[in-house]
Amino acid sequence: MEIESAADFVRMTRGVLLAAGFVRRERDGVVWFESATRARTIVLIHGVNDQAGTWFTIAPTLARDARVILPDLAGHGESEPKDGPLPISLLVERLHAVLADERDLTLAGNSLGGWIAMLYTLGHPARVKHLVLEASGGLSLPFASPVIARDRDEAMLILRNVHGPRYQPQEWVIEALLARAAGSQMLRVTETAEHVVDARLHEIRVPTTIVWGADDGVLPLSYAQTLQRGIAGAKLHVIEGAAHIPHMQQAEKVLACLTSIF
């Protein structure tokens, strides 16, 4: 399938999941994908402005040995609400609606998804067996990059901060980023100050793996190091050749980190 728009990309990624045997589920406005039952379960939580299909690079491989659950966070992908505020508390609550019957979870999140994974772990520590934070947000430290593009130059800066300094985007990628300046999930997220986890990192007592791109221009390595210092026993893996979405940019290396947990 030739990708000519953001909608094409979303269809392709979700199509890969379905072709790999994942089943689309929906309940009370929450949509998720899951693979066949296995002895272990891993939940992969996407970042802001993203959707469950972002994990198409690694989810089919993980599903060979684990049950994989891929939620569309509230207001993202096909999950409700389609408009209005997206409080952080709602994102955590809707995630719990998917995981309410689950135990012994490996919970992995990218960017905003890592923040949600931390909050879920803090709220439901008995359910989480291992926490994986991939380029995770959640601290009160500022971003090292703008996140809203007002012109093409700013779009290129953001895209290279997200994907790496040598990234050459297709035209539709730039256009999609510019379109978000007029309305995106990021602009809808609320309650951010109330839910920063700086002062709560010491409460996370499950084994934690931190995965970070060496070229992350959104959240620099110092951010990862702050997480590592705050979470007792946390292990940090720096992925060369990756930026803010390592599972998209260096899928094999991220798979190696995840499978080593199992």
**Span 175-222, pLDDT tens digits:** 999 999 888 999 999 999 999 999 999 999 999 999 999 999 999 999
* pLDDT above 90 (res 162): yes
Structural domain contains residue 229: yes
Structural domain contains residue 53: yes
Q: What total of structural domains would you count in the chain?
A: 1
Average pLDDT in the 110-116 region? 98
CA distance from start to end of the chain: 34
Structural domain contains residue 115: yes
d(CA 68, CA 163): 25
Q: How distant, in Å, are the alpha carbons of 28, 187, 191, 237 from that of 81?
A: 11, 14, 16, 35
Q: How confident is the model at residue 261 (pLDDT cuts 50, 70, 90)?
A: confident
Q: Which among 258, 130, 261, 136 is positioned nearest to 205, based on CA atoms?
A: 130
Cα radius of gyration (the chain) = 17
What pLDDT is stored for residue 183 in this prediction?
A: 83
Structural domain contains residue 150: no
Q: How confident is the model at residue 262 (pLDDT cuts 50, 70, 90)?
A: confident
Average pLDDT of the chain to the nearest whole number: 96
CATH code at 11? 3.40.50.1820
d(CA 75, CA 91): 8
Q: Residue 229: which domain range?
A: 6-141+185-261
Phi, psi of 200 (to 5 degrees): -115, 0
